[in-house]
């Protein structure tokens, strides 16, 4: 007999038993009424009651098995299909439902296997493309010029590190622009200037269709951060020759302009001073010549004038040359060099030039310097030849070591046999040069590098040395990630090795200025954020940290983060520190909320705010509206409400629980940025789930979220 | 008819020569070393010609020139700008403000004297400086 037939038989038996029970009860009650036997009556009533209870239990099991459990199954199935294929449904409830769960899970396994095969194939196909992209990103990162690629709406599709450094104003001003993918270039460069350049290029392309040079134009502009930039705009077009966007190559010329202004000023003052002095001298000489008969006392006065003015003239020339020395020399560029290479170069130079043996000791092989090696070797050679000439020193030792933020270059020599006082006298003279002879002293070397230099004697008197502090190169120049970008607190946020500085898919994304509410969720730009606080009472408690990052074109941009500790101007309770790890000491030297919020508003501009349990964070921000004057009018989406909307049968909607269900690894939790990253990942996985429920636009998502139970909770 | 010359310059060393030259040429000479002093001397001394430096402490030469031209025509009171500011734009500015001549330092004393005589003794046959 088949299982379904058994079920039907069992159901028939159950129904018959129910009918029999009711009938027996009714019969007993009827007999009791006619025979006036109370025992029989109570037995009948009890029978009916027991039968009804049994019937209710049966009903409950049926409802649970075939209504609630089926709904749970379909939710879980949707989850597996759209968001987390690795999710497996725990077997619960009626054996039939459990069996169905097993089938679902098997299907899930099969689906995952198929998907894996699919992913492998795609990955294989993408490997080459990825390699090219990495190459492009590396090339871009290494360029000293800033490169920005924009679509015709001015949205940034690519930028390199130098462009970030040249254009970013977020650390300068409270409302300064952030450089980022999908953000508008017009917040950093003048709209009219760019529009004019694009127009120029377009006109030229029409007139000289085959000339590649026609698609390029140069201009000079001031960025919003005050830098003076020389820019080159090159247009690029689709195969159908339609203009699609432009590449901007930018260079900072502020420094060059400032230098030439200083040179102008120098020429100006020099000319005027010279004219005045020479004027007095000439007038005096000519007067003396014109009146040869003048009394000797009078003649003496004129001779004195000539002498005084000539002396003044030479002092003026010396002073001017000293003040403007660095401007008069050719512009020198600092280059990066490994300490070991520098030691070798100096040794080689000394041997060639002064026939002095230089032994070198550079123990730190990770140490790099940022120097003008020509000036440096000249300075050292001048010093060593002076040592050789005056004291007959034939051997020096070079040592380079790291001293705090600097590299210390020591030039040591045996000092025995000469009075320490004489060494000191000589060392003072070693810094003095005549500007006209072109000799470079160590002091000049130090000045040019923003460093320092001093002379020291070993206490024993056996050795003397000069120590030169020079800049190290292991700052922004050589590290690959986060140059100029807001710094991570301690690198907790998982930042990928290759920066995500470009997204050419943005060519197809319309600007953010369009009406947001009716735009599909997948095309919007979002800022996912979280705050850490001193407690849970808005109005009483304060924000101690804000972490945020953006989602543009369905990607979480881990490179463009906002992470800021805030001084709450009150002690942080131990209970709060236990949660987020932020102590009073950590926030002591941090800015207050009033200077952080304007920057944060600039960061979130034109995006939808996303967070988990946003009602709390928003009320914390709203508390500060009055005192800071900063309002957040962005539309918001709360992942807590969206989770309740997507999985109403689930009881747990904490960030951890949702992350687990959606297969998101919750790393770096309980830091504002860590939580924001997890929330962002969760939100990205929710978008297809929402679409599967027919929720496509921001308006639909907001309306649906407002219907959930959690939306009615107030802070 | 010899005239009156006011020398306005804060550089003592050039004033020595100018004063000597003007006196030798037979002019009555007064000296002012600041802008304020110059304004005062213009009122009290009433010169026929002013040798005026541009860079002065306090009120500068261009300001003084403007004040002079508010009350006197170039014919009534000649102004010879005598300055180390030699940029073309400044020469143009001085002449536009009503200076009779603009001489940049260093200058030839002979030329200067000739210029002064041109304004103070017009029409006369100017004798040259003794050699």
| pLDDT more than 70, % of chain A | 86
Q: Tell me the shortest Cα–Cα distance from A297 to chain B, in angstroms.
A: 13
Q: Cα(B99)–Cα(B122) distance, rounded to whole angstroms?
A: 17
Q: How much is the pLDDT for A497?
A: 34
Cα-Cα-Cα-Cα dihedral sign, residues A634, A639, A643, A646: positive
N- to C-terminal Cα separation, chain B:
24
Q: What is the mean pLDDT of residues B95-124?
A: 88
In this structure, what token pair is assigned to residue B6? 């006011």
| pLDDT more than 90, % of chain A | 13
DSSP secondary structure string, A172-241? TSTTPPPP-TTSBGGGTS-HHHHHHHHHHHHHHHHHSTT-GGGGEEEEEEE-TTS-EEEEEEEEEE-TT-
Whether the CB of B16 is below 8 Å from some CB of chain A: the reply is: yes
Give the pLDDT confidence of B39-84 residue by residue, as tens digits. Answer: 999 999 999 999 999 888 888 898 899 999 989 999 999 999 988 8
B83: which strand partners? B104
Query: A156-159 and A146-151 as β-strands: parallel, antiparallel, unpaired?
Result: antiparallel
Residue in A278, A286, A305 closest to B108 by CB: A286
Considering only residues B89 and A520, tell me which one the structure prediction assigns the higher pLDDT.
Answer: A520
- Using a CB-CB cut-off of 8 Å, the residues of chain A touching B18 are 283
Q: Which of A271, A274, A280 to mutate to test the interface with B (most CBs of B within 10 A)?
A: A280
Residue in A282, A291, A302 closest to B130 by CB: A291
pLDDT at A445 over 60: yes
Residue in A290, A291, A305 closest to B16 by CB: A305
Q: For the CA atoms of chain A, what is the radius of gyration?
A: 40
Give the pLDDT confidence of A208-235 residue by residue, as tens digits. Answer: 666 666 678 888 888 888 888 888 999 8
- Using a CB-CB cut-off of 8 Å, the residues of chain B touching A284 are 13, 16-17
Q: How much is the pLDDT for A565?
A: 92
User: Would you state the CATH architecture of domain A256-328?
Assistant: Orthogonal Bundle (1.10)
Q: How much is the pLDDT for A504?
A: 62
pLDDT at A299 over 50: yes
Q: Cα(A334)–Cα(A305) distance, rounded to whole angstroms?
A: 47
Inspect the interface and report whether the beta carbons of B17 and A291 lie closer than 8 Å. no
Query: B49-52 and B78-83 as β-strands: parallel, antiparallel, unpaired?
Result: parallel
Question: Distances in Å between the alpha carbon of B47 and those of A420, A507, B29, B32, B60?
Answer: 68, 78, 9, 12, 19
3-class secondary structure per residue, A277-314: HHHHHHHHHHHHHHCCCCCHHHHHHHHHHHHHHHHHHH
Q: How much is the pLDDT for A480?
A: 31
Fold of A335-471: Heat Shock Protein 90 (3.30.565)
Q: Tell me the residue length of chain A.
A: 715
Inspect the interface and report whether the beta carbons of A290 and B109 lie closer than 8 Å. yes
A397: which strand partners? A359, A412
Q: Tell me the shortest Cα–Cα distance from A280 to chain B, in angstroms.
A: 5
pLDDT at A333 over 70: no
CA angle A273, A275, A276 (to 5 degrees): 65
N- to C-terminal Cα separation, chain A:
61
Whether the CB of B45 is below 8 Å from some CB of chain A: the reply is: no
Q: Which of A500-509, A658-667, A689-698 has the highest mean pLDDT?
A: A689-698
Q: Cα(A608)–Cα(A614) distance, rounded to whole angstroms?
A: 12
In this structure, what token pair is assigned to residue A397? 């030792």
Inspect the interface and report whether the beta carbons of A282 and B85 lie closer than 8 Å. no
Q: Tell me the shortest Cα–Cα distance from B67 to chain A, in angstroms.
A: 25
Encode burial over A240-263: b for 16+ CB neighbours within 10 A, e otherwise: eeeeebbbbbbbbbeeeeeeeeee
Q: Which of B10, B11, B14 to mutate to test the interface with A (most CBs of A within 10 A)?
A: B14
pLDDT at A388 over 70: yes
Q: Which residue of B has its CA nearest to A269?
A: B85
A130-252 has which CATH code?
Answer: 3.30.450.20
pLDDT at A447 over 80: no
DSSP secondary structure string, A685-711? HHHHHHHHTT--BHHHHHHHHHTSGGG
A565: which strand partners? A545
pLDDT at A462 over 90: no
Q: pTM, whole model, 2 decimals? A: 0.49
Q: How confident is the model at residue A321 (pLDDT cuts 50, 70, 90)?
A: low
Identified catalytic residue from A175, A196, A458, A670 = A670
pLDDT at B95 over 90: no
Q: How much is the pLDDT for A493?
A: 33
Q: What is the mean pLDDT of residues A666-691?
A: 86
pLDDT at B23 over 50: yes
Q: Cα(A595)–Cα(A589) distance, rounded to whole angstroms?
A: 13
Active site residue A670: yes
Whether the CB of B57 is below 8 Å from some CB of chain A: the reply is: no
Q: Which residue of A has its CA nearest to B110?
A: A286
Q: What mean pLDDT value characterizes chain A?
A: 80
Residues whose CB is less than 8 angstroms from the CB of residue A450 and which lie 6 or more positions away in sequence, other chains included:
A471
Q: How much is the pLDDT for A489?
A: 35
Asked whether the bond before B106 is cis by omega within 30 degrees of 0, the reply is: yes
Inspect the interface and report whether the beta carbons of B109 and A283 lie closer than 8 Å. yes
Q: Tell me the shortest Cα–Cα distance from B109 to chain A, in angstroms.
A: 6
Q: How much is the pLDDT for B22?
A: 94
Q: How much is the pLDDT for A491?
A: 32
Inspect the interface and report whether the beta carbons of B131 and A305 lie closer than 8 Å. no
In this structure, what token pair is assigned to residue A382? 């001048």
Residue in A268, A272, A283 closest to B14 by CB: A283
Q: How much is the pLDDT for A496?
A: 34
Q: Tell me the shortest Cα–Cα distance from A314 to chain B, in angstroms.
A: 16
Q: Cα(A204)–Cα(A194) distance, rounded to whole angstroms?
A: 15
Considering only residues A48 and A575, tell me which one the structure prediction assigns the higher pLDDT.
Answer: A575
- Does the domain at A512-712 match CATH 3.30.420.10? Answer given as yes
Q: Cα(A466)–Cα(A558) distance, rounded to whole angstroms?
A: 46
> What order of strands is seen across the sheet that includes strand A357-361?
A357-361, A395-403, A406-414, A463-471, A452-457
Inspect the interface and report whether the beta carbons of A273 and B84 lie closer than 8 Å. yes
- Using a CB-CB cut-off of 8 Å, the residues of chain B touching A280 are 11, 13-14, 17, 105
The residue ranges of every structural domain in chain A are: 3-123, 130-252, 256-328, 335-471, 512-712
Residue in B11, B55, B104 closest to A280 by CB: B11
Q: How much is the pLDDT for A483?
A: 34
Q: How much is the pLDDT for A437?
A: 55
Q: How much is the pLDDT for A490?
A: 33
Q: How confident is the model at residue A387 (pLDDT cuts 50, 70, 90)?
A: confident
> What burial class does residue A159 get, using C-beta atoms within 10 Å of its C-beta: 0-12 exposed, 13-18 middle, 19+ buried?
buried
Q: What is the mean pLDDT of residues A270-288?
A: 87
Residues whose CB is less than 8 angstroms from the CB of residue A132 and which lie 6 or more positions away in sequence, other chains included:
none
Cα-Cα-Cα-Cα dihedral sign, residues A286, A289, A291, A296: positive
Residue in B21, B55, B84 closest to A287 by CB: B21
DSSP A462: S
Q: Which of A265, A269, A272, A288 to mutate to test the interface with B (most CBs of B within 10 A)?
A: A272
Q: Which of A128-137, A549-558, A703-712, B46-55 has the highest mean pLDDT?
A: B46-55
Q: How confident is the model at residue B1 (pLDDT cuts 50, 70, 90)?
A: low
Task: Single out the residue of A677, A678, A680, A701 nearest to residue A689, CA to CA.
Answer: A701
Q: How much is the pLDDT for A475?
A: 46
Q: How much is the pLDDT for A14?
A: 73
Q: How much is the pLDDT for A495?
A: 32
- Using a CB-CB cut-off of 8 Å, the residues of chain B touching A298 are 20
Inspect the interface and report whether the beta carbons of A286 and B84 lie closer than 8 Å. no
Q: How much is the pLDDT for A647?
A: 85
Inspect the interface and report whether the beta carbons of A275 and B16 lie closer than 8 Å. no
Q: How much is the pLDDT for B46?
A: 93
Give the pLDDT confidence of A593-616 residue by residue, as tens digits. Answer: 998 999 999 899 889 999 998 888
Q: How confident is the model at residue A119 (pLDDT cuts 50, 70, 90)?
A: confident
DSSP A668: S
Inspect the interface and report whether the beta carbons of B14 and A308 lie closer than 8 Å. no
pLDDT at A241 over 80: no
Q: Which residue of A has its CA nearest to B23?
A: A287
Q: How much is the pLDDT for A68?
A: 78
């Amino acid at each position: 007999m088949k299982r379904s037939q058994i079920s039907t038989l069992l159901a028939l038996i159950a129904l018959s038993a129910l009918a029999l029970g009711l009938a027996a009860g009714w019969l007993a009650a009827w007999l009791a009424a006619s025979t006036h036997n109370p025992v029989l009556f109570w037995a009948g009533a009890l029978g009916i009651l027991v039968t009804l209870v049994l019937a209710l239990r049966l009903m409950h099991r049926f409802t649970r098995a075939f209504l609630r459990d089926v709904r749970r199954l379909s939710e879980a199935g949707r989850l597996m299909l759209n968001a987390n294929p690795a999710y497996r449904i725990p077997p619960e409830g009626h054996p039939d439902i459990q069996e169905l769960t097993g089938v679902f899970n098997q299907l899930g396994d099969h689906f995952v296997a198929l998907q894996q095969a699919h992913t492998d194939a795609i990955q294989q196909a993408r490997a080459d493309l990825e390699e090219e992209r990495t190459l492009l990103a590396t090339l871009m990162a290494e360029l000293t010029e800033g490169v920005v690629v924009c679509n015709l709406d001015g949205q940034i599709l690519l930028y390199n590190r130098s462009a970030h450094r040249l254009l970013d104003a977020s650390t300068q001003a409270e409302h300064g622009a952030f450089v980022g993918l999908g953000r508008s270039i017009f917040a950093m460069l003048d709209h009219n200037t760019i529009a004019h350049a694009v127009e120029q290029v377009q006109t030229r392309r029409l007139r000289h269709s085959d000339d590649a040079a026609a698609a390029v134009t140069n201009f000079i502009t001031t960025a919003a951060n005050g830098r003076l930039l020389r820019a080159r705009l090159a247009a690029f077009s689709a195969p159908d020759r339609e203009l699609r966007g432009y590449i901007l190559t930018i260079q900072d010329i502020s420094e060059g302009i400032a230098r030439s202004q200083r040179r102008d000023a120098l020429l100006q003052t020099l000319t005027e001073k010279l004219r005045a002095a020479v004027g007095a001298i000439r007038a005096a000489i000519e007067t003396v010549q014109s009146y040869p008969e003048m009394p000797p006392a009078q003649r003496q006065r004129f001779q004195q004038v000539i002498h005084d003015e000539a002396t003044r003239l030479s002092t003026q020339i010396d002073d001017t040359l000293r003040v403007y020395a660095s401007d008069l020399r050719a512009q020198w560029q600092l280059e990066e060099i490994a300490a070991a290479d520098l030691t070798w170069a100096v040794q080689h130079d000394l041997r060639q030039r002064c026939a002095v043996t230089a032994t070198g000791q550079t123990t730190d092989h990770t140490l790099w310097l940022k120097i003008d090696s020509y000036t440096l070797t000249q300075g050292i050679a001048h010093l060593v030849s002076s040592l050789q000439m005056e004291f007959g020193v034939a051997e020096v030792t070079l040592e380079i070591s790291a001293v705090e933020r600097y590299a210390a270059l020591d030039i040591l020599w045996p000092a025995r046999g000469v009075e320490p006082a004489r060494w000191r006298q000589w060392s003072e003279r070693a810094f003095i040069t005549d500007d006209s002879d072109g000799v470079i002293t160590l002091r000049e070397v130090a000045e040019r590098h923003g460093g320092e230099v001093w002379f020291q004697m070993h206490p024993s008197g056996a050795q003397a040395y000069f120590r030169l502090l020079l800049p190290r190169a292991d700052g922004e120049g050589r590290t690959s990630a986060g140059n100029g970008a807001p710094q991570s607190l301690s690198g907790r946020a998982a930042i990928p090795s290759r920066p995500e500085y470009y997204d050419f898919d943005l060519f197809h994304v319309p600007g953010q200025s369009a009406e947001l509410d009716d735009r599909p969720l997948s095309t919007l730009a979002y800022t996912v954020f979280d705050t850490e606080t001193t407690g849970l009472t808005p109005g009483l408690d304060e924000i101690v940290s804000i972490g945020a990052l953006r989602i543009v074109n369905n990607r979480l941009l881990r490179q463009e983060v906002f992470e800021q500790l805030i001084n709450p101007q009150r002690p942080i309770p131990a209970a709060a520190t236990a949660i987020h790890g932020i102590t009073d000491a950590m926030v002591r030297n941090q800015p207050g909320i009033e200077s952080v919020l304007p920057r944060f508003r600039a960061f979130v501009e034109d995006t939808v705010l996303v967070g988990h349990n946003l009602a709390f964070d928003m009320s914390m921000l709203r508390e500060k509206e009055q005192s800071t004057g900063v309002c957040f009018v962005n539309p918001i989406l709360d992942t807590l409400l969206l989770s309740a909307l997507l999985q109403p049968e689930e009881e747990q909607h904490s960030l951890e629980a949702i992350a687990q269900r959606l297969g998101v690894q919750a790393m770096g939790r309980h830091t504002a940025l860590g939580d924001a990253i997890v929330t962002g990942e969760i939100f990205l996985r929710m978008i297809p789930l929402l679409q599967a429920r027919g929720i496509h636009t921001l308006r639909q998502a907001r309306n649906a979220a407002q219907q959930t139970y959690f939306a009615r909770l107030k802070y | 008819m010899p005239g009156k010359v006011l020398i306005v310059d804060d550089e003592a060393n050039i004033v020595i020569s100018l004063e000597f030259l003007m006196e030798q040429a037979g002019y009555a000479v007064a000296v002012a070393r600041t802008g304020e002093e110059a304004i005062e001397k213009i009122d009290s001394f009433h010169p026929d010609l002013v040798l005026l430096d541009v860079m002065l402490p306090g009120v500068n030469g261009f300001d003084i020139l403007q004040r002079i031209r508010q009350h006197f025509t170039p014919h009534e009171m000649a102004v010879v700008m005598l300055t180390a500011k030699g940029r073309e734009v400044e020469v143009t500015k001085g002449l536009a403000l009503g200076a009779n001549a603009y001489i940049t330092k260093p200058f030839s004393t002979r030329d200067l004297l000739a210029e002064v005589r041109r304004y103070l003794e017009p029409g006369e046959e100017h004798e040259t400086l003794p050699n």
